[in-house]
Amino acid sequence: LLPRTLPHSEIRTLLQSIDTTTSAGYRNRALLELMYSSALRADEALSLNIADVDMTTGTATVHGKGDKERLVPIGATALRYLKTYIRGVRPLQLCHRHEVALFLDHQGRRRDPRLPTHPARYPAKTSARWRLLPKSWRRVWPYFSVRAAIWLLAMVRMARS
Protein backbone atom coordinates (compact mmCIF):
# COMPACT_ATOMS: atom_id res chain seq x y z
CA LEU A 1 0.00 0.00 0.00
CA LEU A 2 1.51 3.32 -1.09
CA PRO A 3 1.41 6.35 1.19
CA ARG A 4 -0.98 9.15 0.24
CA THR A 5 0.67 12.24 -1.15
CA LEU A 6 -0.38 15.81 -1.69
CA PRO A 7 -1.54 16.54 -5.23
CA HIS A 8 0.87 18.65 -7.28
CA SER A 9 -1.66 21.49 -7.54
CA GLU A 10 -1.93 21.71 -3.74
CA ILE A 11 1.83 21.69 -3.30
CA ARG A 12 2.13 24.55 -5.80
CA THR A 13 -0.62 26.45 -3.96
CA LEU A 14 1.18 25.94 -0.67
CA LEU A 15 4.54 27.04 -2.05
CA GLN A 16 3.02 30.11 -3.68
CA SER A 17 1.33 31.09 -0.42
CA ILE A 18 4.67 31.71 1.30
CA ASP A 19 5.36 35.41 1.76
CA THR A 20 8.67 35.91 -0.07
CA THR A 21 8.82 39.63 0.70
CA THR A 22 10.59 38.88 3.99
CA SER A 23 14.02 37.29 4.31
CA ALA A 24 12.62 34.45 6.45
CA GLY A 25 9.83 33.84 3.95
CA TYR A 26 12.23 33.76 1.02
CA ARG A 27 14.51 31.38 2.92
CA ASN A 28 11.56 29.12 3.67
CA ARG A 29 10.45 29.13 0.03
CA ALA A 30 13.98 28.23 -1.13
CA LEU A 31 14.16 25.50 1.52
CA LEU A 32 10.81 23.93 0.64
CA GLU A 33 11.47 24.16 -3.11
CA LEU A 34 14.75 22.33 -2.51
CA MET A 35 13.12 19.67 -0.33
CA TYR A 36 10.36 19.19 -2.90
CA SER A 37 12.54 19.08 -6.01
CA SER A 38 15.28 16.89 -4.54
CA ALA A 39 13.28 14.64 -2.18
CA LEU A 40 15.27 15.71 0.87
CA ARG A 41 14.40 15.08 4.47
CA ALA A 42 14.13 18.23 6.57
CA ASP A 43 17.30 17.41 8.51
CA GLU A 44 19.19 16.70 5.27
CA ALA A 45 18.19 20.04 3.76
CA LEU A 46 18.98 21.97 6.93
CA SER A 47 22.37 20.29 7.36
CA LEU A 48 23.53 21.49 3.93
CA ASN A 49 26.47 23.86 3.77
CA ILE A 50 27.09 26.44 1.05
CA ALA A 51 29.89 24.25 -0.36
CA ASP A 52 27.47 21.30 -0.73
CA VAL A 53 25.47 23.08 -3.45
CA ASP A 54 26.92 23.26 -6.97
CA MET A 55 25.02 25.91 -8.91
CA THR A 56 26.75 25.14 -12.22
CA THR A 57 25.71 21.48 -12.30
CA GLY A 58 22.47 22.01 -10.36
CA THR A 59 23.30 19.36 -7.77
CA ALA A 60 23.77 19.08 -4.03
CA THR A 61 25.88 16.69 -1.99
CA VAL A 62 23.62 15.49 0.80
CA HIS A 63 24.68 13.75 4.00
CA GLY A 64 21.77 11.57 5.06
CA LYS A 65 20.96 9.00 7.68
CA GLY A 66 23.81 6.75 8.72
CA ASP A 67 26.30 9.34 7.41
CA LYS A 68 25.54 8.23 3.85
CA GLU A 69 26.47 10.73 1.16
CA ARG A 70 24.61 11.11 -2.13
CA LEU A 71 24.46 13.53 -5.02
CA VAL A 72 20.96 14.83 -5.79
CA PRO A 73 19.71 16.96 -8.66
CA ILE A 74 18.10 20.31 -7.89
CA GLY A 75 15.03 21.30 -9.91
CA ALA A 76 15.09 24.49 -12.00
CA THR A 77 12.63 26.39 -9.78
CA ALA A 78 14.47 25.38 -6.59
CA LEU A 79 17.77 26.36 -8.18
CA ARG A 80 16.40 29.79 -9.09
CA TYR A 81 15.18 30.38 -5.51
CA LEU A 82 18.46 29.07 -4.06
CA LYS A 83 20.58 31.38 -6.23
CA THR A 84 18.58 34.42 -5.17
CA TYR A 85 18.61 33.31 -1.54
CA ILE A 86 22.39 32.75 -1.50
CA ARG A 87 23.25 35.97 -3.33
CA GLY A 88 20.64 38.36 -1.96
CA VAL A 89 18.88 37.10 1.17
CA ARG A 90 21.38 34.95 3.07
CA PRO A 91 23.91 37.81 3.42
CA LEU A 92 21.20 39.80 5.23
CA GLN A 93 20.71 36.95 7.74
CA LEU A 94 24.42 36.30 8.20
CA CYS A 95 25.81 37.47 11.54
CA HIS A 96 29.13 35.60 11.51
CA ARG A 97 30.94 35.67 8.19
CA HIS A 98 32.46 32.26 8.90
CA GLU A 99 29.06 30.52 9.07
CA VAL A 100 28.99 27.74 6.47
CA ALA A 101 25.36 26.62 6.88
CA LEU A 102 23.17 27.17 3.84
CA PHE A 103 19.92 27.91 5.71
CA LEU A 104 20.16 30.33 8.62
CA ASP A 105 17.78 31.27 11.42
CA HIS A 106 17.02 34.82 12.58
CA GLN A 107 20.24 34.83 14.64
CA GLY A 108 22.43 33.92 11.68
CA ARG A 109 23.00 30.32 12.82
CA ARG A 110 22.14 26.98 11.24
CA ARG A 111 18.37 26.43 11.20
CA ASP A 112 17.16 23.70 13.59
CA PRO A 113 14.88 21.06 11.99
CA ARG A 114 13.20 20.26 15.32
CA LEU A 115 11.61 23.67 15.70
CA PRO A 116 7.81 23.63 15.67
CA THR A 117 7.90 26.56 13.24
CA HIS A 118 9.80 24.55 10.64
CA PRO A 119 8.49 25.68 7.25
CA ALA A 120 7.62 22.14 6.18
CA ARG A 121 4.95 22.19 8.90
CA TYR A 122 3.14 25.19 7.43
CA PRO A 123 -0.59 25.01 7.99
CA ALA A 124 -1.41 24.21 4.44
CA LYS A 125 -3.63 26.36 2.33
CA THR A 126 -4.64 22.99 1.02
CA SER A 127 -7.71 20.95 1.68
CA ALA A 128 -8.23 19.81 5.25
CA ARG A 129 -7.92 16.12 4.38
CA TRP A 130 -4.14 16.41 4.05
CA ARG A 131 -1.95 16.42 7.14
CA LEU A 132 1.24 18.21 6.19
CA LEU A 133 4.42 16.89 7.77
CA PRO A 134 8.04 17.29 6.68
CA LYS A 135 8.07 13.71 5.38
CA SER A 136 5.13 14.60 3.11
CA TRP A 137 7.54 16.58 0.92
CA ARG A 138 9.80 13.56 0.49
CA ARG A 139 6.90 11.24 -0.36
CA VAL A 140 5.65 13.41 -3.20
CA TRP A 141 8.87 13.31 -5.20
CA PRO A 142 8.87 9.61 -6.22
CA TYR A 143 5.24 9.84 -7.32
CA PHE A 144 5.89 12.73 -9.70
CA SER A 145 9.21 11.24 -10.86
CA VAL A 146 7.52 8.00 -11.82
CA ARG A 147 4.73 9.90 -13.53
CA ALA A 148 7.26 11.99 -15.48
CA ALA A 149 9.27 8.88 -16.43
CA ILE A 150 6.13 7.15 -17.72
CA TRP A 151 5.27 10.23 -19.77
CA LEU A 152 8.83 10.39 -21.16
CA LEU A 153 8.76 6.68 -22.04
CA ALA A 154 5.45 7.16 -23.85
CA MET A 155 6.93 10.08 -25.83
CA VAL A 156 9.97 7.98 -26.83
CA ARG A 157 7.73 5.13 -27.97
CA MET A 158 5.59 7.54 -30.00
CA ALA A 159 8.70 9.00 -31.63
CA ARG A 160 9.93 5.53 -32.63
CA SER A 161 6.63 4.46 -34.18
The model's pLDDT over 50-109, given as tens digits with 9 standing for 90+, comes to: 999 999 999 999 987 787 899 988 989 999 999 999 999 999 888 888 889 999 988 888
* pLDDT at residue 114 tops 90: no
pLDDT value of position 65: 78
Mean pLDDT of the chain: 77
Choose among 39, 49, 40, 22: nearest CA to 104.
Answer: 49
Q: Which pLDDT score is estimated for 151? A: 55
CB neighbours of residue 136 within 10 Å? 20
Asked if residue 127 has pLDDT above 50, the reply is no
| Predicted pLDDT at 140 | 56
Which residues, in sequence order, are bridge partners of residue 70?
Answer: 62
